Structure 1
Amino acid sequence: MSTVIEQAVEARLVAAAPRMASIPATLRYDARDPFAVRMSFPAPATLEGVDVSWTFARELLTAGVSEAVGTGDVRVRPYGYDRTVLEFHALEGTAIVHVRTGELKRFLAETTALVPDGEEYLHVDVDGDLAELLRDAL
């Protein structure tokens, strides 16, 4: 069984440069990092002209499809009947994208089937992560 879920989504860019009506994006979840979701954008959609990925809490995305959440670099909130807004704040600027809520819910359902909500801690290798951290410190 794979520990990684990837799903392509269409994101409608609302505010950022360069201006693009919609862009492909990829949602990624890895059971080895069970608390996190990664959303990646291709180089043409970014200010720097390079691929950009944002990593944020799966819980943030889960809550954000039904209520406004987030106070930091990533904020998520419902928009209308079938869209969810994701805001990405960085020193270079802010990108605001709309994604179909159904696509997000489908992705989240797959992640929950792989790692149920509340059971993330069972998939964390604390000893391995600590050993890697200490190895890098030496």
Structure 2
Amino acid sequence: MKKLTIGTILFASAFSIQASPIPNSLAAGFKAYSSDGPRSAIQSWVKGGAMENNLDALSQANRFRQIEDYYGKYQGFEIVKSNKISSKSSVYLVTINYKKGILYSKFFTYRNNKNKEIVTSFKFHTEAEMVWPKYLIYGQ
């Protein structure tokens, strides 16, 4: 009986470590990507923020299409790490998974006066070193 209890506790602990909170603004963008493509994802991520209607931000959709040409169809995403920078800002390191490869991304968010977490900036690259801290990739 002890083994079962310890095993259950270890399983529950491992499961809770895997689960990472995701703000609605990010989740909505990935849902839009899955159903309507990259342009819808970008529009969702910038909605309500300073980048909304910014042509440079919307042009990122073209980069996603190029990545899809190379890596294949979008398969999903995973929050690798999140960090609360201050009471109003956070950063999320996310992998975006495709059929044949992975895209590394970084999203900064801001909690506005309506207590909604909006995306303030994002970066994407096929090379993790271009967007993530080196210690996270290679260890310290």
Q: Same fold (TM over 0.5)?
A: no
Structure whose residues are more often helix by fraction: 2
- TM-score by structure 2 length? 0.30
Structure whose residues are more often strand by fraction: 1
Q: Which structure is larger by alpha-carbon Rg, 1 or 2?
A: 2
Q: Relative contact order: is structure 1 or structure 2 higher (C-alpha 8 Å, sep ≥ 6)?
A: 1
